[in-house]
Amino acid sequence: MKRLIFIIVFCCVSLYVFGQNKEQSKVQNNAQKFGTTLYLIDNFYVDTVNIDKVVEDAIVGALKELDPHSAYISKKDVEKANEPLVGSFEGIGVTFQLVRDTITVIGPTPGGPSEKVGIMAGDQFIKIDGEDAFGKKVDNEFVQKHLRGKKGTKVVVSVKRGNDPELMDFEIIRDKIPLNSINASFMMEKNIGYIKLDRFAQDSDKEFKTAMAKLQDQGMKSLILDLRSNSGGYLNTAIAMVDEFLGADKLIVYTEGLKSPRQEWRSTEKGVYTSGNLVVLIDEGSASASEILSGAIQDHDRGVLIGRRSFGKGLVQRPFNLPDGAVIRLTTARYHTPTGRCIQRPYEGGTEDYYKEMTKRLEHGEYFHADSIHFPDSLKYKTDGGRIVYGGGGIMPDIFMPADTTFNSKLYTNLVRKGVFNKYTVDYAMQHRDELKKEYPEFSQYNKNFVVSKAMIDAIKELAANEKVEWNDEEFQRSEKYIRLQIKALIARNVWEMQQYYEVTLKEDPTIAKAVEVLSNEKQYRKLIH
């Protein structure tokens, strides 16, 4: 009851602070109405009611009516929600996956606590501080509860390695673990560098500068920046990233809302890559900060965009702290590209309809044919160089690349869904790690020469049967190239690191091939941006 009175008093005091004009009076009246409703429920409802949950559900429902991106985050979920963007947590430092209800290490974080004591890719955690760490009770929550913890605290893991029947005990002192947002950075052919950015986190710009310095030392002249499936992150990080590509005093992005005056951000003279040729890859999974960057690059004719139309998330959320530690992320403005394009796609049909947009794009053929996308002339804008671009939601690339469906057979989907690829490649890497490292001292040798054999396919087929995946030879032939590629790439990841996974898969990526083609032909590149 005290909490209820506090809520009502807080609402009234807050509204009093903001004044007593007509609109605010409406809000005050409704706040009192809501408070009275809670009072009645708490005092007269037939059954026991969790008032906290009622209030949370009401807040969630109210925000849902506003737009698809305003959100309520409970106190217990605030830290978890921020973690991927803050860029670090405290724990033992391993990337893992659950294989047959067992924690299996994909790889230790370089320089982290686990690597320092000798934890290796393929190790399986059988006990944690003496407690069994396998079976149905083991899920992601179990792993986080037992392996994460305050910096300086100790955890003992009992590890099964390879075919050794004896468990090995490792004492690990937890530490601060960085969450890198760059999944891969390496040189491709013809002096072309490649960077895969997973999200716009707190330290992404620092990571980018480090990766760029490494690539430039290796002779990079042109860059492919891969933002496919990058759902965004911090606005300030996006601005800092765009700044790396533009000369001084160019508009990067501006925001504007009914009660949020126009605010602009401009580039400085600090960019580390303001003149080299640039290709940015986007698709329907590229959203928010990814669209700020790609929109600015396109509007200033700074590089070539290749892929498919981006997601179309251009609403600005501002966090507001609630008295109990929860947070409301409330939409307060819209993003606009330098030419004035609004990134946000329409959402008048409601949240549910909004999130069906990707399905609609698929049904309309947008993933496969550029001419299935129509933009009204009223949303036409011109870049610095006079090229026509369109608003209306999302960023349309300069070169359209259809989705590759040759791998999308029912067989391939079920092999992924049932974890057949993961289970097989983890076991294979554990059993053959030493001989693979001996036969291929350099990863480039593995990438060039390793071939997935018929025996390996037969083993996959046998494992698929055990997992009740129906094998269809016609579907296998359709997806054979990608099945073999996935096996090779996952073995590379489990023996080396995540970057090597990308080095394998990108060799057969048609969008990467198009990017390399554009960057290898100066005349074609210049024609696209002028």
DSSP secondary structure code for residue 187 in this structure: E
> What is the rounded distance in angstroms from the CA atom of residue 382 to the CA atom of residue 144?
50
Active-site residue, from 67, 123, 175, 299 = 299
Residue length of the chain: 530
Among candidate residues 487, 496, 494, 495, the one with its CA nearest the CA of residue 420: 487
Distance of alpha carbon 218 from alpha carbon 185, whole angstroms: 12
Q: What is d(CA 119, CA 114) in angstroms, rounded to the nearest whole number? A: 5
Q: How far apart are the first and last CA of the chain?
A: 67
Separation of alpha carbons 193 and 502, rounded Å: 13
Question: Is 136 considered catalytic here?
Answer: no
Neighbours of 420 (CB within 10 A): 22
* Annotation says 507 is catalytic: no
* Sequential DSSP letters for 134-163: BSTT-SHHHHHHHH---TT-EEEEEEE-TT
Of 224, 226, 225, 222, nearest in space to 190 by CA: 222
- Measured from the Cβ of residue 151, the count of other Cβ atoms closer than 10 Å reads 13
Q: How far apart are CA 233 and CA 238, in angstroms?
A: 8
| R_g of the chain computed on alpha carbons | 26
Contact 68, 101 (CB under 8 A): no
299 is catalytic: yes
Selection from 414, 400, 413, 417 nearest residue 284 by Cα = 400
The catalytic residue among 114, 286, 288, 294 is 288
Tell me which of 250, 313, 488, 514 is the catalytic residue. 313
The sign of the dihedral angle between the CA atoms of 231, 235, 236, 242 is positive
Q: Which residues are catalytic?
A: 288, 299, 313
